[in-house]
Amino acid sequence: MVIIGDGALRELGAKILEAAGTPGEEAVWVSDCLVLSNLKGVDSHGVQQIPGYVKAIEDGFLKPGAKATLLEESAATSFYDGNWGYGYSIAREVMAATVKKAREAGAAFSGIRNVHHIGRVGKWAELALDDDMIGIASQPGGVYIAPWGGVERKLPIAPIAFAAPTGKYSPIVVDMSLGPIAGGRTAILAQRGMRVPLGWYIDDDGETHDDPKIFNEGKGAQLPLGQPGLGYKGMALSMMINILAGPLLGHVATHAQAFRRCGVFLGAIDPEAFTPLETFKEGMDALISDMKSSRLADGFDEITVPGEPEWRTMMRRLKEGIYLDDEIYGRILDTAERLGVSTMGYEGNPGKESVVHPSYALKDMYR
Amino acid sequence: MVIIGDGALRELGAKILEAAGTPGEEAVWVSDCLVLSNLKGVDSHGVQQIPGYVKAIEDGFLKPGAKATLLEESAATSFYDGNWGYGYSIAREVMAATVKKAREAGAAFSGIRNVHHIGRVGKWAELALDDDMIGIASQPGGVYIAPWGGVERKLPIAPIAFAAPTGKYSPIVVDMSLGPIAGGRTAILAQRGMRVPLGWYIDDDGETHDDPKIFNEGKGAQLPLGQPGLGYKGMALSMMINILAGPLLGHVATHAQAFRRCGVFLGAIDPEAFTPLETFKEGMDALISDMKSSRLADGFDEITVPGEPEWRTMMRRLKEGIYLDDEIYGRILDTAERLGVSTMGYEGNPGKESVVHPSYALKDMYR
């Protein structure tokens, strides 16, 4: 483990991306977004993405500096070509336009095709919070999930984000895949030799197993979200996202190249189109209080609501620094050196933390 | 078991609802909607609801003949008071207005508060298909689910529907709760003495069990959707729906009276605001073909996509008739007789079918 402060990590990330051909301001923005993911504990979508982005630039799949082109527009919808730019830049621009449209029309939805990775989808939904709106964001992600009754990887894990403003509580931020586990997180678990409950992964014969390494080597698939007998629900959820970000945007996002062709779907809803903002926020607080008032299950100290564990992790990591696996950080330093970026002063300190994400704390795993 | 033709069942349902004070045309429409649910195999939302609706009219919670009042409107949103009318009538009217708005604005979302049960949510999403649009519908439903880490009923099962037009295949119709199982379906399983896999229900102490009867007696709760360790995802999904149909519409839908106060959320997206309709439909067909091309898991004969099992059940029941439990049908006949509606000719024939829903066939249950 390496511990490094968020400021140093931001700097190093921006330098690497700039050295790979990213305009300076854009490199800072992308690095900020990545480090924010690490701060929130979503390490799968943090700086470990940097070597892959550099490779994508070198391979011509990611075009630094590219801007979105507006293809279609209605009062409540817009559709953009992302021209293979950074998802971070394109999604920021499109989400701002979507929020503006929602202020006029009450709600707005936007699609983007031909765009690179937008990273942690929660980021784009959170942008709507600045305007006291509900934000929605999705990008299909890796094609990892078997359909109900099948054993092959056919469905994307379909990360979805949904953010809603609150009164006295921190905002609700749903930010999760609609499959068992994101690809980047599988990689971390495999790296650390951790096991997961049965029912997440199957092998090539359709038998469930507990070893992320097998999946990480390209074997088998993930089962769709749901208890035994309910995987058809997870399949339907993944298909819904895949329809909105696939056929709706003029392409099919089911095949193995989905990551390169994937669409993005962003939305904003203005609560004031329905109800006064203060009433909405009071309702949100009442809903959260009601969750937290539940009698607890064995092994739990409290009920947390979506976004709360990530917010706490961020508060802690802002103080303590960010924990990265040696191998993962090593690949980042290697990339820097290959591009002629000095890594002096960015070595970090040795650390021991092995927590992955609050949701994956082992005590919670088997319920 | 009783087997009865869909035509006779429609007639009887309409007569009962009319005798309870429902205007003639509305009684026919509500009965048609209920019988369509039975035809599609969604018996939980079929004619077994009739005795409850009659009681709701008698208790003053359901006002036959009531129309919706428009409260707020923007280019892409509208918000109605349902004045405690039949959800079936109010949702029909509002969904038609929503589709019309989506034709202009590209997408539209509508909320309804103070409205009775809208029944099978799939019905309202399907209405958008007539106009080649994507339809969305939700109503929070029974508060049955424990939050992640809790053991009390706090979250609604959050039925959600999503319908999308296709080319050569029957339309995709997602129509499911975001919890393990709908209340009406629990009642049917309890009635038939059936068991379910572990992980769906917990008792008052938080221990999982397999007996729908315990839950049906008001004890314990359902666990949120998700494999072991992933219930926080199901909690988040339920909260999202609960926010859109609760605080957004000016009330909190978390407490035990949710059914009476519940809001409805309807949406329509016009694919042509993004991509030519034919391209969209080709993409949908390609997506479905891709699902069906998966190598099969043991015990499965084929991959079905959302809406397909229900469509097949409908084709079969249109020929063979609708199967109802003796006790459930007995309660309907009792209600008829109490209201002075002759049940002569509506006795049905004895039958033996014990299949609940294609998704619940036992062979599929333990995967």
Residues of A within 8 A of B252 (CB-CB) are 283, 286-287, 290
Is residue A23 domain-resident? yes
Residues A157 and A258 in one domain: yes
Tokens 């035509």 identify what position?
B7
Question: Containing domain of residue A319, as a range?
Answer: 1-65+310-359
pLDDT at A353 > cutoff 70: no
Residues B27 and B74 in one domain: no
pLDDT tens for each residue of B120-156: 999 999 999 999 999 999 988 888 999 999 999 999 8
Residue B183 has what pLDDT? 82
Is residue A257 domain-resident? yes
Residues A79 and A141 in one domain: yes
pLDDT at B360 > cutoff 50: no
Output the 3-class SS for chain A.
CEEECHHHHHHHHHHHHHHCCCCHHHHHHHHHHHHHHHHCCCHHHCHHHHHHHHHHHHHCCCCCCCCCEEEEECCCEEEEECCCCCHHHHHHHHHHHHHHHHHHHCEEEEEEECCCCCCCCHHHHHHHHHHCCEEEEECCCCEEECCCCECCCCEECCEEEEEECCCCCCCEEEEEECCCCCHHHHHHHHHCCCCCCCCCEECCCCCEECCHHHHHCCCCEECCCCCCCCHHHHHHHHHHHHHHHCHHHCCCCCCCCHHHHCCEEEEEECHHHCCCHHHHHHHHHHHHHHHHCCCECCCCCCCCCCCHHHHHHHHHHHHHCEEECHHHHHHHHHHHHHCCCCCCCCCCEECCCCCCCHHHCHHHHCC
Is residue A247 domain-resident? yes
Query: How many percent of chain B have pLDDT more than 90?
Result: 75
Rounded Cα distance, B52 and B335, in Å: 10
Residues A87 and A123 in one domain: yes
Rounded Cα distance, A266 and A121, in Å: 10
Cβ distance of B248 and A255 shorter than 8 Å: no
Residue B143 CB partners (closer than 8 Å, separation 6+): B153, B154, B155, B156, B253, B254, B255, B256, B258
Cβ distance of B274 and A248 shorter than 8 Å: yes
Q: In angstroms, what is the C-alpha Rg of chain B?
A: 20
If one compares B94 and A114, the residue with the highest pLDDT of the two is B94
pLDDT at A93 > cutoff 80: yes
Is residue A212 domain-resident? no
Query: What residue in B sits closest to A150 (Cα-Cα)?
Result: B296
- Count how many domains chain A has: 2
Rounded Cα distance, B110 and B245, in Å: 10
Residues A13 and A162 in one domain: no
Residues B190 and B168 in one domain: no
Q: Which of B113, B104, B107 is nearest to B71 (CA)?
A: B113
Q: Token pair of A227, please?
A: 């208890």
Domain boundary pick from A267, A293, A319: A293
Residue B353 has what pLDDT? 58
pLDDT at A235 > cutoff 90: yes
Residues of B within 8 A of A174 (CB-CB) are 236-237, 239-240
Residues of B within 8 A of A271 (CB-CB) are 247-248
- Mutant choice from A166, A243, A292 vs B, greatest count of B C-beta within 10 A: A243
Residues B156 and B256 in one domain: yes
How far apart are the CA of B40 and the nearest CA of chain A, in angstroms? Answer: 17
Rounded Cα distance, A159 and A190, in Å: 20
- Mutant choice from A79, A248, A281 vs B, greatest count of B C-beta within 10 A: A248
Per-residue pLDDT band for B43 (boundaries 50, 70, 90) equals confident
Residues of A within 8 A of B363 (CB-CB) are none
pLDDT tens for each residue of A115-139: 999 999 999 999 999 999 999 999 8
Rounded Cα distance, B107 and B36, in Å: 27
Residues A29 and A129 in one domain: no
How far apart are the CA of B131 and the nearest CA of chain A, in angstroms? Answer: 15
Full-model pTM? 0.93
Judge whether B222 and B179 are in contact, CB under 8 Å: yes
Largest CA distance in chain B: 56
How far apart are the CA of A364 and the nearest CA of chain B, in angstroms? Answer: 6
Is residue A215 domain-resident? no
Residues A46 and A71 in one domain: no
Residues of B within 8 A of A255 (CB-CB) are 290
How far apart are the CA of B343 and the nearest CA of chain A, in angstroms? Answer: 39
pLDDT tens for each residue of B221-256: 999 999 988 999 999 999 999 899 889 998 765 554
pLDDT at A141 > cutoff 90: no
Residues B262 and B337 in one domain: no
Query: What residue in B sits closest to A73 (Cα-Cα)?
Result: B273
**What's the CATH code of the domain at A72?**
3.30.1370.60
Cβ distance of B149 and A297 shorter than 8 Å: yes
Judge whether B261 and A117 are in contact, CB under 8 Å: no
Residues B91 and B150 in one domain: yes
Rounded to the nearest 5 degrees, what angle is found at the Cα of B154, between the Cα atoms of B62 and A306? 120
Average pLDDT score over chain A: 90
Rounded Cα distance, B305 and B286, in Å: 13
Rounded Cα distance, B269 and A265, in Å: 12
Rounded Cα distance, B68 and B79, in Å: 10
- Can you tell me the ipTM of this complex? 0.92
Cα B210 to Cα A127, A286, A297, B145, B330: the distances in Å are: 43, 32, 18, 16, 27
**What's the CATH code of the domain at B327?**
1.10.1530.10
Residues of B within 8 A of A227 (CB-CB) are 180, 197, 199-200, 223, 225-227
Among B149, B270, B273, the residue with its CB nearest the CB of A300 is B149
Residues B9 and B142 in one domain: no
Cβ distance of A359 and B232 shorter than 8 Å: yes
Residues of B within 8 A of A201 (CB-CB) are none
Judge whether B211 and B201 are in contact, CB under 8 Å: yes
Q: Which of A314, A329, A363 is nearest to A188 (CA)?
A: A329
Is residue B363 domain-resident? no
pLDDT tens for each residue of A309-338: 898 889 999 999 999 989 899 999 999 999
pLDDT at B214 > cutoff 60: yes
- Over residues B87-113, mean pLDDT: 97
Residue A1 has what pLDDT? 85
Is residue A218 domain-resident? no
User: Which of A45-54, A175-184, B211-220, B335-344 shows the lowest mean pLDDT across its residues?
Assistant: A175-184
Residue B269 β-bridge partners: B107, B134
Per-residue pLDDT band for A252 (boundaries 50, 70, 90) equals low
pLDDT at A367 > cutoff 60: no
Residues of B within 8 A of A212 (CB-CB) are none
pLDDT at A270 > cutoff 70: yes
Cβ distance of B249 and A275 shorter than 8 Å: yes
User: Which of A147-151, A362-366, B199-203 shows the lowest mean pLDDT across its residues?
Assistant: A362-366
Q: Which of A76, A175, A172 is nearest to A129 (CA)?
A: A172
pLDDT at B218 > cutoff 60: yes
Is residue B299 domain-resident? no
Residue B367 has what pLDDT? 35
pLDDT at B277 > cutoff 80: yes
Tokens 């929070």 identify what position?
B140
Cβ distance of B227 and A232 shorter than 8 Å: no
Rounded Cα distance, B288 and B306, in Å: 10
Rounded Cα distance, A203 and A195, in Å: 15
Rounded Cα distance, B147 and B202, in Å: 12
